[in-house]
């Protein structure tokens, strides 16, 4: 069994529908879904603001590469086009962290680096993650810290640029947060 933390984002088309498509596709695998947050684009490319959320999911049959494949399939279904690094996208599904039962999985495979190599630098990942797993830990730069501590270490402007919206991605049948 594996438990994955997925960061999802959209800034093209019906952004909420794109995010909701991930929750719908996960169905009963969903353990928790954060609130939806609006954030300015990251990476310096001029574009519309993103909507972001974090989903915690579990599946007894999934390993880390299954989560990656699943995310790529959903991006393709949303007609994501990869024209520019950090550019606009209909749907972005990142595997932030994966636990296969023995704790946080660490991988330096270029195809799937775990934990996500920049998650600790991105308030748009950390803030929603705190919604659903306030005691979660994340390893980055050789250090393991609580995500709240990684978030506290970010520039105030980065933290303040993440705004909770009224949008809701929860679905009937999703398991309650433990």
Residue 38 in contact with residue 131, Cβ under 8 Å?
Answer: no
42-54 pLDDT, tens digit each: 666 677 899 999 9
Q: Is 53 exposed, middle or buried (0-12, 13-18, 19+ CB in 10 A)?
A: buried
Global pTM value? 0.89
Query: Which single residue is written with the structure tokens 């630098």?
Result: 121
Show the domains of the chain with their CATH numbers: 2-164 (3.30.70.560)
6-50 pLDDT, tens digit each: 999 999 899 999 999 999 999 999 999 999 999 988 666 677 899
């Amino acid at each position: 069994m594996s438990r994955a933390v997925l960061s999802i984002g959209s800034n093209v088309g019906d952004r909420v529908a794109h995010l909701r498509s991930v929750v719908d596709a996960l169905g009963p695998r969903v353990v928790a879904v954060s609130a939806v947050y609006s954030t300015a684009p990251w990476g310096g490319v001029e574009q519309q603001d993103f909507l972001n959320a974090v989903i915690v999911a579990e599946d007894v049959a999934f390993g880390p590469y299954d989560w990656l494949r699943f995310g790529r399939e959903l991006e393709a279904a949303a007609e994501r086009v990869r024209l520019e690094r950090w550019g606009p996208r209909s749907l972005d599904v990142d595997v932030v962290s994966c636990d296969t039962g023995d704790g946080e999985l660490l991988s330096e495979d270029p195809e799937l680096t775990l934990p996500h190599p920049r998650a600790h630098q991105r308030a748009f990942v950390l803030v929603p993650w705190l919604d659903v797993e306030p005691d979660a830990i994340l390893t980055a730069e050789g250090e393991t810290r609580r995500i709240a501590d990684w978030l506290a270490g970010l520039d105030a402007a980065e933290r303040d640029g993440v705004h909770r919206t009224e949008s809701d991605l929860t679905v009937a049948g999703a398991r309650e947060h433990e």
